[in-house]
Amino acid sequence: MSIATALNSLSLDLYAALLRRLLVVLVLFSMLRAVFYFYNLGFFPDVTPERLAVMMVGGLRFDLVAVLYVNILFIFLFTVPFPFRYNSGYQLSAKWLFLVSNTIALGLNCIDIAYFRFTLRRTTASVVQEFSNETNMVGLSLRFMVDYWWLALLLAALVALLFLTYGKALPRPAKLSRAGIYFPVGALLLCIGTVAFVGGVRGGFEKGLRPITLSNAGQYVQRPLEMAVVLNTPFAILKTLEITPLEKVDYFKDEIEMAALFSPVRMPADSAVFRPLNVVVIILESFGKEYIGALNGLSVGYTPFLDSLIGKGLTFEHSFANGKKSIDAMPSILASIPSLVEPYVLTPYAGNDINSLASILGEHGYSTAFFHGAPNGSMGFQAFARIAGYQKYVGRDEYGNNADFDGNWGIWDEPFLQFFAAQMNGMRQPFHTAVFTVSSHHPYSVPESYKGVFPEGNLSIHKCIGYTDNALRRFFATASKMPWFDNTLFVITADHTNVDTHHRQFQTSAGVFAVPIIFYRPDGSLHGRSKRLVQQNDIMPTVLNHLGHDSPFIAFGNDVLNDSLEPFVVNYNGFHQIFMGDHLLQFDGSRSTALFNFKQDTMLRENLLTARPDVVDSLELRVKAFIQQYNQRLIDNEMQVGSGN
């Protein structure tokens, strides 16, 4: 039997009907997005028709994910390759499943049209917890329907439209019994559909693309609040089901007592005078301290250029990342926002108004841009760059030469860093840029022309570290000849450490966060090797204070150049960790579980919890204040000075 006959026996009308019905739901989602925008127009005063069009088109990505998830069982019922799917009772059940599930989805979107005014964000899964103790939900729901009767009518009209466009039950094909390859072809179509479904709910098929989440809406907007237009409510709920929402903890009843222990409000010196240095932040993929000879305390390293630069800049013996993932790093480095429990960009608060290096320096007239050689949108970086206020995002698309693509993650570091230097040469000064490298990433390959050039070491990543280090050397050689170079502050760090380690001290709860943090000025004004504790969260306040920024801002780190501030580090590794002085305290949210002198006891073998209760009490109060400030400010959207501080 021919393939054409088999396809005919499958009755492609069944698949056409499925696609048509899903398309109708997509259209209705877009219609509700338009209603959402115009009903809440006062919250989006600066949105032009062109920007609205971008948000509407961008919203289709999120609508597709939501529609596929909401209709996952319906899709399966229509594509399972068995003849019983033509039975009238089976199709009637599928019809009611479709109508009920999509009525709920459309209803959630309708509710948020009005409810947005109370929360200024799309409703997430945390709403269940918020109302879990409410005893009058029926009465509140009825009052909502009375107050917003027109939304109930709108929903009824949409459901009626779904019903009318659904169509009749499809008849059983006459030739079905003679279709010898009916099941194999149907199974093949089911496999194809499954692949398409996975790509749809992930937001694409590109390698390195994380599943689409709330923060991805940031790449279509100019203000975080506008993300609510791009998103839809079913998507927001589904994407936060597995994320434990933050709770306001009450370790401290007295706000003054808490602020005395820790406050993220950073006040400038009265004598601050702004100096418009260019600011270039270089984030190196997986460059843990273990690989850097000048910092690892070992007899071997793989970064001869970085070692030489460390000798000319200001660096720190005890410097740490605030997270373990690339998506943790960008908020920590560029906006001084840590990731506690969940990565900040994956929380329901990713659309909060925040301050960052880009937004604050933009107020000083800086031109700003973020560079990443991966496919645009990869890792959610483009979205966060937009949320953080970067005026321009430059990725693989803008690079425009696929001959330099590494076949896995993005453009090789050497040509992309040369491109980065050339792009900055064309930017208006003063400027702030950040670049995120890609080549020191699994599967750990180097360009053909560099094979055998760099030391292999005992880990596969070592040759990639050597390659990127050499790319840095060539970048600085090029940049040093450019007119902006001498007036530039460079900050070099890593996003996180790598899972591939060889030395045990970099496998401890402290060592897994050990990354370089280097400040470099070509004029030599920042130099030396400090024993001070430093974290990624310290980068933004240090840069701003070094430039003489003269307004208050929010930062969860300190200016490392200000010796009057007591240094600390906070990160999360399944439990909260705070480093202060010589000690590391581990805290599970309710009690302290371990205390180590991490400077002397580098392998963290001796738990001093009972031996040093004074240190435990002091550090526990500090970390509690940090957690309470973080949770409270994210929940209340108080991540900028003046937003309820």
Whole-angstrom Cα distance, residue 537 to residue 513?
A: 13
pLDDT of residue 173: 59
Task: Choose among 173, 179, 245, 234: nearest CA to 201.
Answer: 234
pTM of the model: 0.79
Could you read off the pLDDT of 530-547 as tens digits, one per residue? 999 999 999 999 999 999
Cα–Cα dist 132/66, whole Å? 24
Beta bridge partners of 281: 434, 491
- At 270, the amino acid letter reads D
Instruction: Give the pLDDT of residue 622.
Output: 97
Task: Establish whether the linkage from the previous residue to 430 is cis, with ω within 30° of 0.
Answer: yes
pLDDT reported for residue 9: 47
**pLDDT attached to residue 299:** 80
B/e letters for 477-487, b = 16+ CB within 10 Å, e = fewer, are ebbeeeebbee
**Most confident of the ranges 41-45, 53-57, 373-377:** 53-57
Tell me whether strands 569-572 and 576-580 are parallel, antiparallel or unpaired: antiparallel
Model pLDDT for residues 72-105, shown as the tens digit of each residue: 988 888 777 766 677 788 888 889 999 999 999 9
For 502-512, write each residue's pLDDT tens digit. 888 898 889 99
Strands 517-520 and 488-494: antiparallel
pLDDT at residue 30 greater than cutoff 50: yes
Res. 223 pLDDT band, cuts 50 70 90: confident
pLDDT > 70: percent of the chain = 88
Across 195-209, 337-351, 380-394, 469-483, least confident range: 195-209
Question: Given a cut of 70, is residue 11 above it in pLDDT?
Answer: no
Asked whether the predicted pLDDT for residue 290 surpasses 80, the reply is yes
Task: Give 125's pLDDT tier (boundaries 50, 70, 90).
Answer: confident
In contact, 209 and 375? CB cutoff 8 Å? yes
Closest among 536, 577, 140 to 326, alpha carbons compared: 536
As a whole number of angstroms, the distance between CA 442 and CA 79 comes to 37
Percentage of residues in the chain with pLDDT exceeding 90? Answer: 62
Here the tokens at position 263 are 């406050």
- Cβ distance 411 to 405 under 8 Å? yes
Residue 356 binned pLDDT confidence (cut-offs 50, 70, 90):
very high
Domains and CATH numbers, the chain: 3-238 (no CATH), 278-550 (3.40.720.10), 575-645 (3.30.1120)
Q: Is the pLDDT of residue 449 over 60?
A: yes
More confident residue, 319 or 565: 319
Phi first, then psi: what are they for 530, rounded to 5°? -105, 150
What is the CB neighbour count within 10 angstroms for residue 304?
Answer: 16
